Amino acid sequence: MKKIILVILVFMSFVANAQTKDEVLKHHFEKMGAPAKWLTINSMKVESLNINAESDTTKHLKFAKKPNLAKIELNSNITKPVHVLVCADSLGAWQKVNNNDVERISKYGIDFIQTDMTIFIASELKNKDNIQLKSNEILNGKEYHVLDIKNNTVIRRLLYVNTKTYMIDAYRSVDYENGLELSDIVTTFLSDYRAVQGFLLPFQSSNNNVIGYKSRRIVTDIQINIPIDNKIFSPENK
């Protein structure tokens, strides 16, 4: 009986490994929705709690709106009350800490898809030519299809697609130079997927980087495609 079970497990593992890139993406899109669906999201409001390794908690409030508006408000009591407001548009980003003057922190603009990692990953899956299916890997005791996302930067992404659910349970940003993998920058684990207006979004995530820093994010509320007044994206407006 044990031999029969072993043969079945080996066969199931072989079938999982034998799937092509197109088959993995097909099953993933059936579960999560195709990239075109995700790109219909025009605005977002996300409230979350970020918890670091020392259990210090920061409240995050994020607004984002197409084509290139973003606002992040942070409230922290780690050492003393701190209020940080970051606003960004096509021209750059500005920051205001407590009641200090507004300070420009970046001259580079943003795009809406960069404001949410789930939407960003969906946009990367749009071009199949930039995706390579690597050998299956075991991560935290589970088997995963591994999609290697190639882009024009030295930072590339590995997506870990659960072989049973076809959900993305984790993604890893990797530093490449001359086509060689140098080091993992950060691994992010996604969980607690919930339906929000027809979209499955992770309400919990955790990550760790090469120097051992760990953090956790718990989403408390997500609203999609809501009207947002452009005025709130000014750093002068709290």
User: Rounded to 10 degrees, what is the CA torsion of 25, 29, 32, 34?
Assistant: 120
Q: What's the pLDDT at 14?
A: 45
- Domains annotated for the chain, with CATH where assigned, are 19-233 (2.50.20.10)
Residue 15: count of CB within 10 angstroms of its CB? 10
Q: Which two tokens stand for residue 85?
A: 């407001």
Q: What's the pLDDT at 7?
A: 42
Q: What is the pTM of this model?
A: 0.81
Tens digits of residue pLDDT in 83-103: 888 888 878 888 888 878 888
Most confident range (mean pLDDT) of 25-29, 112-116, 150-154, 212-216 is 25-29
| Residue 77: C-alpha distances to residues 50, 55, 84 (Å) | 12, 12, 12
Q: What's the pLDDT at 86?
A: 86
Percent of the chain residues past pLDDT 90, beyond the cut = 42
Mean pLDDT estimate for the chain: 83
Q: What's the pLDDT at 154?
A: 62
Q: How far apart are CA 154 and CA 183, in angstroms?
A: 11
Tens digits of residue pLDDT in 30-48: 999 999 999 899 999 999 9
Flag whether pLDDT at 78 surpasses 70.
no
Most confident range (mean pLDDT) of 50-54, 122-126, 173-177, 180-184 is 122-126
pLDDT top residue among 107 and 130: 130
Tens digits of residue pLDDT in 175-229: 766 555 555 567 899 999 999 999 999 999 998 765 556 789 999 999 999 999 9
Q: What's the pLDDT at 53?
A: 66
Q: 154 with 176: CB under 8 angstroms?
A: yes
CA 212 distance to own-chain centroid: 19
Flag whether pLDDT at 238 surpasses 50.
no
Flag whether pLDDT at 67 surpasses 80.
yes
pLDDT confidence of 233, banded at 50, 70, 90?
Answer: confident
Q: What's the pLDDT at 137?
A: 94
Would the CA dihedral through 184, 75, 196, 204 be positive or negative?
positive
| Residue 230: C-alpha distances to residues 8, 28, 93 (Å) | 58, 35, 15
Flag whether pLDDT at 162 surpasses 50.
yes
